A and B are shown apart, each in its own frame.
Chain A
Amino acid sequence: MEENDIKKTFKAVVIGGSAGSLSVLFEMLPNLRTNLSVAIIIVLHRKNSGDSSLSSLLSTKTLIPTKEVEDKDPLIPGNIYLAPADYHLLIEKKRSFSLDSSEKINFSRPSIDVTFESAADVFGPKLVAILLSGANDDGTEGLIAVKRAGGFVVAQKPESAQMPYMPQHAIAKVDIDLVLDVEEISNFINSLVK
């Protein structure tokens, strides 16, 4: 019953990760169903180089259309969007993306907090936010904003993370709805298929 509610509700899944998250995505993406009715938005910390090889790398792991966001791209369900290096990724009420090259937040651009907060503002209770492995405390404030807007928040089980600090920090500060290992995260996302 509860699962049915979940299926009907969510419009977007935002995933934030730092050190140790790439391998999580590599493991997760091949297991995702390709007929998702949500958009998946991924924010990963990485070196601020201009190259866009990460999105081509991720797209080898899934048949879901995967693209690195360009300014004003529309946000369409059934796609995976990746925040570009060196820009914060924001979401407009009109369901399109905006980029922002302002100051780093938590030493990071893109910052997970920025995207989580923006997604919370747009999607409110129709948002799932998932925080993965990392050695930084980016993401915690964002999860608080998602929670406050009525969204659903998930943290990677710290024991399953290469760098447990980031999910651990969030679990300590936020009322997390689910703490899941990598396989459980893919199963959870798959349960959002209509």
Chain B
Amino acid sequence: MTIEDEEIDLLLNDVLEIYGYDFNSYSRASLKRRIIRLCALDKFPSFAELRYRIRTEEDYLKRFVEEITVNVTEMFRDPSFFKVLRTDILPILGTKPFIRIWHAGCSTGEEVFSMAIMLQEADLLKKSLLYATDLNPSVLEKVRKGIFPLTQMKQYSENYIAAGGTKDFSTYYTANYGQAKLNQELSDKIIISTHNLVSDGSFNEFDLILCRNVLIYFDKDLQERALKLFDDSLGTLGFLALGSKETLKFSTIQSRFRQLDKEKIWKKMI
């Protein structure tokens, strides 16, 4: 099915006016592909039918938001990144009396739990709070449960070891009926809330903000808004971590940050 760009505009305006979700500043190429994909998945004979269903059924809007946003993530994704967090960043955070970390656009939470595991191993979890936010309430429900498919644990265990983990990864979960339930003590320090980087503001001051593979779905203006929000939400000498192909390079906040030698991690200097 082909969809005209003007039709996408109409649909996004409906979603904003009726439901308050603003996708107008998302990267158009990716968004268009996701909408065409959804039409195929749900077998809409035409674009008009998709639009009608979204306008008239609030429950379907939930599915729309879930399907056009990308919720592909893993535990210890890019192990070399997590290794640098473990060896270079956590020891610095450990000198603070209290550690606040924000996972912005956390999706189903795999990276939040990865962080909780590393904090626990560094004996820092007890003085840490991990804020897990996403615009999508249904993915946050999965963070709340802390249950992931057992089939993925082999990959996650490999990632964990490549990221410098030395324990038996299976001690972090209980396997049951094909599911892996992560240990409750990992969840105890995770605070879950909806937060939309398009429309919501700063809500706390953090020592470390992670927002990986989220900005790639935003156009440059929205990226700038989100980066300013992170700048406003970081204390001096706080850290900002982005995805492996994302950058501060063209942002106005760049001058206040210095990138570490390795990985996409920046330190706020003033």
Contact = CB atoms under 8 A, between A and B. Distances in A.
B30 A98 contact: yes
Interface in B69-91: 70, 72, 78, 80
Interface in B45-93: 70, 72, 78, 80
Contacts, number: 61
Contacts of B213: 101
Contacts of A121: 29, 32
Interface residues of A, number: 22
B21 interface: no
A71 B80 contact: no
B29 A72 contact: no
Interface of A: 50, 69-72, 84, 87, 90-93, 98-103, 114, 117-118, 121-122
Given A70-B245, A71-B215, A71-B216, A101 B70 contact: yes
15 contacts: A69-B245, A70-B246, A71-B243, A72-B250, A84-B244, A87-B216, A90-B29, A92-B27, A93-B28, A98-B216, A100-B216, A101-B243, A102-B72, A103-B72, A114-B33
Given A90-B27, A99-B216, A100-B216, A70 B33 contact: no
Scoring A101, A114, A122 by chain B CB atoms within 10 A of each residue's CB, the highest score goes to A101
B162 to A, nearest CB: 10
Given A101-B243, A114-B33, 8 more contacts: A50-B78, A50-B244, A71-B216, A71-B247, A90-B29, A101-B70, A103-B72, A122-B29
Nearest to A87: B245
Interface residues of B, number: 24
A interface majority secondary structure: loop
A30 B56 CA distance: 58
Contacts of B34: 102
B12 to A, nearest CB: 15
Nearest to B246: A71
A100 B70 contact: yes
Contacts of A92: 27-29
A82 to B, nearest CB: 12
